[in-house]
């Protein structure tokens, strides 16, 4: 009897612990506040998921860009006489007054419980944690948000104008020159330095430490400190491999079930002749046979195919189907869900060969190929793919007909 009672008590304890953990996790998820717009005042505030106002509308839009308020956000509070910029916590505490990190009129949003701030006295960047504490001091010229516990930062650089003819006091585009690129973790430890020639499309979430025998067709490795190595997937190489081995193979085999898995649920088709449609779900066979054909992705003398970076900014991101692919500011979360564009350029033969005399005067360094001289772009078609938790999916098509 005592044994049975002990088992019952043990079960109750374990059950309660599991339910408490589940409740905490659910509470954290449901505790997010959503930005709302008071049109009469043209100001913004925040509501909880039940629609209860948590912060009345008093913020100006320009520096209050967080759509979702998890722990800490940047805000701009404006009145008739002046304005204040600061970081705001949910308990109403204001931190980092006049220290907003701003780049190209865009402020930072919380990522992995941290947000960037800028010390304007020393012109350096650091990180606040979700409680507003400066956990990484402002010692960096530049730093990316944290993704998977790491950030790519720049140190020991000097301010410089993009246009070398201008000085830093009268500069339209001010940047950094020189310095050392480093990989840091969330404890502000340098994992690797002298980072050069890194890919533009790094999957930070694929990080493997001291891992050998990786497929170098899609993986790249950097040497770190203390003999460690850090390996990441190159998203663009991964996409290219997937497109050639999975997508094109499915088109050629014409297995409808396999093909449907490679199409995004909200796929949009834009055609100069037919307009915009998502009727492919009803007319799948017609859509495949007329538009998405293997032959369309074969280059020839008058057609070239390029892989380019894509972006969700050109689709209706207000649709619920896209919400999971956006960050706290409602921007495309490319570090987790990159998009790639297959651009197909169609050319026609020029009636007359290109006259290089006038062009060479404008840009004497431009050396055109024989193709440039004899052919000109007619139109371009685009097929855009988005990485989802189930792999890459075709989510937008633009064709001429």
- Pairing assessment for the beta strands 72-78 and 229-234 based on DSSP bridges: unpaired
Query: For residue 276, what pLDDT is reported?
Result: 62
Percent of the chain with pLDDT over 70: 85
DSSP state of 96: S
Residue 277 in this model has a pLDDT that exceeds 70: no
> What is the C-alpha to C-alpha distance for residues 238 and 242, in angstroms, rounded to an integer?
6
Q: What percent of the chain has pLDDT over 90?
A: 60
Quote the pLDDT of residue 13.
46
Calculate mean pLDDT across residues 362-381: 81
Contacts of 310 (CB under 8 A, 6+ apart): 338, 339, 340, 341, 384, 385, 386
- 8-22, 85-99, 304-318, 381-395: range with lowest mean pLDDT: 8-22
* Residue 167 DSSP SS3: coil
When mean pLDDT is compared across 39-48, 72-81, 243-252, 383-392, the lowest value belongs to 72-81
pLDDT digits (tens, 9 = 90+) for 230-241: 999 999 999 999
The per-residue pLDDT for range 162-206, each reduced to its tens digit, is 766 666 667 767 889 999 999 999 999 999 998 888 899 999 999
Instruction: Evaluate if residue 122 carries a pLDDT over 50.
Output: yes
Residue 219 scores a pLDDT above 70: yes
Distant-in-sequence, close-in-space partners of 213: CB < 8 Å, separation ≥ 6: none
For residues 44 and 267, the model is more confident at 44
> pLDDT band for position 110 (50/70/90)?
very high
| pLDDT number for residue 22 | 42
- pLDDT for the residue numbered 79: 75
pTM of the model: 0.84
Evaluate whether 303 touches 349 at the Cβ level (below 8 Å).
Answer: no
Res. 282: pLDDT tops 50:
yes
- Residue 171's pLDDT is 75
131 Cα distance to chain centroid: 25
Give residues with Cβ within 8 angstroms of 172, minimum separation 6.
Answer: 161, 162, 163, 166
pLDDT of res. 279? 54
The pLDDT value recorded for residue 274 is 59
Confidence of residue 318 (pLDDT cuts 50, 70, 90): confident
Mean pLDDT of 65-71: 96
Distance of alpha carbon 142 from alpha carbon 97, whole angstroms: 20
pLDDT digits (tens, 9 = 90+) for 135-146: 999 999 999 999
pLDDT at 53 over 70: yes
Dist. CA 37–CA 190, nearest whole Å: 42
Task: Tell me the per-residue pLDDT of 139-174, one tens digit each, with 9 for 90 and over.
Answer: 999 999 999 999 999 999 998 887 666 666 677 678
- Span 61-70, average pLDDT: 94
């Amino acid at each position: 009897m005592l044994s049975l009672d002990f088992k019952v008590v043990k079960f109750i304890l374990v059950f309660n612990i599991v339910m408490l953990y589940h409740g905490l996790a659910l509470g954290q998820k449901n505790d997010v506040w959503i930005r709302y717009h008071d049109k009469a005042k043209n100001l913004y505030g925040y509501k909880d998921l039940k629609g209860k106002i948590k912060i009345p509308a008093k913020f100006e839009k320009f520096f209050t860009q967080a759509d979702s308020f998890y722990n800490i956000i940047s805000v701009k509070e404006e009145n008739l006489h002046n304005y204040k910029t600061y970081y705001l916590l949910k308990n109403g505490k204001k931190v980092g007054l006049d220290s907003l990190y701003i780049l190209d009129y865009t402020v930072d949003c919380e990522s992995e419980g941290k947000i960037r701030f800028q010390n304007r006295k020393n012109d350096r960047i650091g990180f606040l944690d979700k409680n507003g504490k400066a956990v990484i001091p402002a010692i960096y010229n530049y730093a990316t948000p944290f993704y998977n516990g790491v950030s790519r930062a720049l140190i020991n650089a000097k301010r410089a104008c993009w246009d070398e003819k201008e000085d830093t006091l009268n500069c339209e585009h001010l940047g950094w020159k020189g310095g050392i690129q480093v990989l840091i973790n969330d404890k502000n430890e340098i994992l690797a330095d002298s980072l050069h020639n890194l890919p533009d499309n790094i999957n930070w979430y694929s990080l493997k430490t001291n891992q050998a025998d990786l497929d170098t067709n899609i993986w790249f490795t950097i040497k770190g400190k203390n003999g460690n190595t850090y390996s990441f997937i190159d998203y663009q190489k991964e996409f290219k491999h997937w497109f050639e081995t999975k997508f094109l193979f499915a088109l050629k085999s014409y297995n409808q079930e396999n093909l449907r898995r490679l199409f995004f649920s909200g796929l949009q088709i834009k055609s100069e002749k037919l307009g915009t449609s998502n009727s492919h779900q009803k007319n799948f066979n017609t859509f495949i046979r007329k538009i998405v054909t293997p032959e369309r992705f074969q280059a020839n003398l008058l057609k070239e195919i390029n892989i380019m970076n894509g972006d969700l900014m050109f689709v209706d991101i207000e649709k619920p189907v896209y919400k999971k692919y956006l960050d706290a500011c409602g921007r495309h979360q490319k570090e987790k869900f990159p998009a790639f564009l297959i651009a197909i350029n169609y050319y026609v033969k020029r009636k007359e060969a290109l006259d290089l005399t006038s062009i060479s005067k404008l840009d004497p360094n431009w050396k055109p190929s024989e193709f440039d001289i004899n052919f000109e772009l007619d139109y371009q078609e685009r097929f855009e793919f988005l990485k989802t938790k189930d792999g890459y999916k075709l989510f937008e098509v633009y064709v001429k007909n």
